[in-house]
Chain A
């Protein structure tokens, strides 16, 4: 299957700082990437859909000014958590949509996730 990487794997930061997470599709191009968040013992929740060359589409309740998304190339999307607070501590996972299929659904390949802890 296709490979998606995420960096960093984990990060610990102080409250009020900003953290940038990178998501890369290593062996395919992805016009669309997705950012999810998962709190302990909860399901993955879609935060936003990242579109190459255009603005991201945010899900209801997700602050676009706090979670900045940039999808500047077909292989890279970044999520910046601005002015992070302890309640932002979570597991952030990206996925990249493979567009080589012929069906109505194109499989998403997930990155390994980034564990963010805000002190």
Chain B
């Protein structure tokens, strides 16, 4: 079983739609959780951290369920510029080692 699993997609949605991605992780000792965004042939960039209480940043909402070991990302009012691959990333501690999921590809269309 992979340490971090995501549905690769692609998810094709119309502009303005609301879309959600889920991610599951296998290591119950994982300490920190993140969503990164990666554009084609570019480096990943931190989108937001994920906190146990859930957190929101503009159109983006992230939630963590430790009991079920999954993380979610909700994007509201999606824009064309949101088209990218969204990476679920888990820090399992011990020197800030990050484990990346394979990413979920989002395509926002007119």
* A positions within 8 Å CB-CB of B: 1, 32, 34, 36, 41-46, 49, 57, 91, 93, 97, 104-108, 110-113, 115
User: In the complex, what residue of chain A is closest to B2 when comparing beta carbons?
Assistant: A43
Question: What per-residue 1/0 map shows which CB atoms of B35-77 lie under 8 Å from chain A?
Answer: 0000001111110000000000000000000000000000000
B96 touches A106 (CB 8 A): yes
User: In the complex, what residue of chain A is closest to B99 when comparing beta carbons?
Assistant: A46
Residues of B within 8 Å of A45, CB to CB, are 100
* B positions within 8 Å CB-CB of A: 4, 8, 31-32, 41-46, 87, 91, 93, 95-103
Q: Give the CA-CA distance A33 to B45 in the complex, in Å.
A: 16
Residues of A within 8 Å of B91, CB to CB, are 105
B102 touches A41 (CB 8 A): yes
A32 touches B96 (CB 8 A): yes
Residues of B within 8 Å of A32, CB to CB, are 95-96
Residues of B within 8 Å of A112, CB to CB, are 42-43
Q: A41-B102, A43-B101, A104-B31 are in contact. Are A97 and B96 (CB under 8 A)?
A: yes
Q: A42-B102, A44-B100, A46-B98 are in contact. Are A113 and B31 (CB under 8 A)?
A: no
Q: Give the CA-CA distance A110 to B43 in the complex, in Å.
A: 6
B95 touches A104 (CB 8 A): no
Residues of B within 8 Å of A91, CB to CB, are 41
B8, B43, B100: the one within 8 Å of A113 (CB): B43
User: In the complex, what residue of chain A is closest to B88 when comparing beta carbons?
Assistant: A43
Residues of B within 8 Å of A107, CB to CB, are 46
| Distance to closest chain B CB from A90 (angstroms) | 12
Extra A-B contacts (7), CB below 8 Å, given A41-B102, A44-B44, A105-B96 = A43-B101, A44-B87, A93-B43, A93-B44, A105-B91, A111-B43, A113-B42
Interface centre among B32, B44, B45, B93, by most chain A C-beta atoms within 10 angstroms, is B44
Residues of A within 8 Å of B32, CB to CB, are 104-105
A108 touches B96 (CB 8 A): yes
Interface centre among B8, B43, B93, by most chain A C-beta atoms within 10 angstroms, is B43
